Amino acid sequence: MHHYFASRVHELWKRTQTVKETGEPFGTEVIMEMAAALLAKGEKILLHAESVSSTKPPKHLMDEQQKALKSRAGGAVAPFLGESKLREAIAKRAKWFTGVEVDPESEVLVTAGSMQAIYFAMQTLLNPGDEVIMATPNFFFDIPVELASGKSVFIPLSYEDGFKHGVEKFEEKVTSKTKMVIICSPNNPTGRVLTDDELKGIASLAKDHDLLIMHDEVYDGFTFDGRKHISLLTFKEVRDRVISIHSFSKLYFMLNFRLGYAIANREIIKRMVLPLTYSSMGVPNFIQYGAAAALEEEWEKRHLKQTVSKLQKNRDYVVKRFNEVPGLFCVKPEGTNLVLTSIEKLGISSMEFAKHILKEGKVAVAPGNSYHAEGYFRFTLGLTESTIEAADRVADAAAKLAKQVKK
C-alpha cells in the first residue's frame, strides 16, 4: 500500500529501515535502545551518546515548575505564540546574552523543543526543490529539509582543516535554487565555535545572494577557554534574514520538558505560527511559566559558569585520554558538551565501533554517521566523575580494538 504515502516521507522511511545496521539516519537512538536493554538486565552501562550532560533539571527550576503546575494547569491554554511571561524572558535574555533587541510580542515563537522550531521553519520557508546549504559534520538538519520537499546541499569538512567554515566553500555551492544556509555554532557534533570572521563571511554571502540563514544556537552558553559565542542576529545587515533556534534541553537539562523557541523577524514568525497552530497548538502553559526561571540573568550566569567549569575540566581529560589511544584522534572542542573523535585508522564503520564500545566497554557513544561524520564517534561530556570512568572504558576498549586491527 506504499502508493498511499507521500513520496518524500516514504523515501525517508525506507532509509530508516536499515538504521540498526548502518546507523543512518539516526543510529544514536539505536545505541540508546541497546543500552537500555542492557541496563534492564542489570549491566552497568554509562550513557554518553545523547547530547545532554544531565537529565536532572536544577532544583530551582523544578521548584518553579511545581508552582506553575499547581497554579496554571487548570487555566486557559497558552497563546499559540507562547506565554507572554516566557516570551518576555526570552527577549530579555537575547538582550543581556547577545546584545540583540527582540520584540517579545512579534519575534519569538515558543515550540515543543528546538526540533519543532526547525521543522516549522522549513515548512514555512521552503518550496519544493529549494536548496539548503549546510556544512558537515552536523546535526540532521537535512531530514526536516527533505520533509519540506527541499534539497540539502552538503559541504564536507574534516578535522584536518579544523572544521573551518570558509565562506568560499559555501560560495561554490550557491545556485539559482539556493534558499537558505544552515549554521550550527557552537557546533554539534564538532564542538567548533565559529569566529567573527567566519560568521561575517556567512552574513555577506546571505546578503549578496538574497539568502536566509538558520542559526542553531542551542549550545550558546557552553563555550570554553574564554571564547565568546556570537549570534548571527547581531549582524544588522542580515538581522531580518536569520532564524535563531534555541532549546531548554542542553543548557538547563530540561530534556523531558520538550521546550524550545525561535527568534526571527515578525513576518517569518507570523507564518511559522500556522503549522504550530494546526499541529500541536502550542506548548502546555505551566511548562512555559516554570521555564521562564531558567532565563533569569543572575541565576543563569551562575548556572552556566558552574556547568562550563565542570565540562571544560572533563573535556580536557577526555581529549587527552582519547588522543593517547593509537587509531583515535580528536580536536579539542571549543564549545558544546561534545567530543568528536576520528576512528578512520581503525578501518571500521562508526556504527560497528559504537556497538563494540557498548559491548566491550559498557559505554553508549554516538556513531558519527548519525551526524554525517562517518569515520568518527561522538562522546557526550557529563558533569560527574562517571565521565572520567566512561572515557577510560572507551579508551581501553578502543586500544584493544586497535591491537586487533593491527594484527
Q: pLDDT per residue over 175-208, tens digit each? A: 999 999 999 999 999 999 999 999 999 999 999 9
How far, in Å, CA of 215 to CA of 218, rounded? Answer: 9
Rounded to the nearest angstrom, the gap between the alpha carbon of residue 51 and the centroid of all alpha carbons in its chain is 7
Condensed to tens digits (0 to 9), the pLDDT of residues 234-278 reads: 999 999 999 999 999 999 999 999 999 999 999 999 999 999 999
Distance spanning both ends of the chain, measured CA to CA: 50
Is 23's pLDDT higher than 90?
no
What share of the chain in percent tops pLDDT 70?
100
Least confident of 30-39, 61-70, 257-266, 393-402: 61-70
Domains 2-57+300-406 and 59-295 in one fold: no
- Give me the CATH code for the 2-57+300-406 domain, please: 3.90.1150.10
Sign of the CA dihedral with 353 first, then 355, 361, and 363 last: positive
Q: What angle is formed at CA 55 by the lines to CA 52 and CA 61, rounded to 5 degrees?
A: 115
What is the pLDDT at residue 212? 98
Least confident of 5-14, 235-244, 375-384: 5-14
Question: Is-contact 240 88, C-beta < 8 A?
Answer: no
- The mean per-residue pLDDT over the stretch 128-143 comes to 96
What is the pLDDT at residue 407? 57
Q: 55 φ, ψ to 5°?
A: -110, 15
User: Do strands 366-367 and 376-380 pair parallel, antiparallel, or not at all (unpaired)?
Assistant: antiparallel
What is the pLDDT at residue 161? 86
Question: Is-contact 280 259, C-beta < 8 A?
Answer: no
User: Do strands 366-367 and 363-364 pair parallel, antiparallel, or not at all (unpaired)?
Assistant: unpaired
- The mean per-residue pLDDT over the stretch 285-293 comes to 90
Is 324's pLDDT higher than 80?
yes
- The mean per-residue pLDDT over the stretch 281-307 comes to 93
Query: Which of the pair, 79 or 378, is modelled with greater confidence?
Result: 378
Least confident of 154-163, 165-174, 209-218, 398-407: 398-407
What is the pLDDT at residue 406? 65
Average pLDDT for the chain: 94
Q: DSSP readout, 248-311? A: SHHHH--GGG--EEEE--HHHHHHHHHHHHTTT-S--HHHHHHHGGGG-HHHHHHHHHHHHHHH
- The mean per-residue pLDDT over the stretch 316-344 comes to 96
Q: Residue 344 is placed in which grid cell?
A: 578512520
Query: Which of the pair, 57 or 261, is modelled with greater confidence?
Result: 261
Q: What would be the CATH architecture of the domain defined by 59-295? A: 3-Layer(aba) Sandwich (3.40)
Give the C-alpha distances (Å, rounded to integers) separating 63 from 164, 255, 260: 42, 16, 20
Could you tell me the residue ranges of all domains in the chain?
A: 2-57+300-406, 59-295
Condensed to tens digits (0 to 9), the pLDDT of residues 295-320 reads: 999 999 999 999 999 999 999 999 99
Sign of the CA dihedral with 371 first, then 90, 52, and 187 last: positive
- Strand partners for 341: 330, 377
Q: Who's near 159: CB < 8 A, 6+ residues apart?
A: 329, 330, 331, 340, 342
Condensed to tens digits (0 to 9), the pLDDT of residues 351-376 reads: 999 999 999 999 999 999 999 999 99
Sign of the CA dihedral with 320 first, then 368, 53, and 289 last: positive
Q: What residue has cell string 544588522?
A: 236
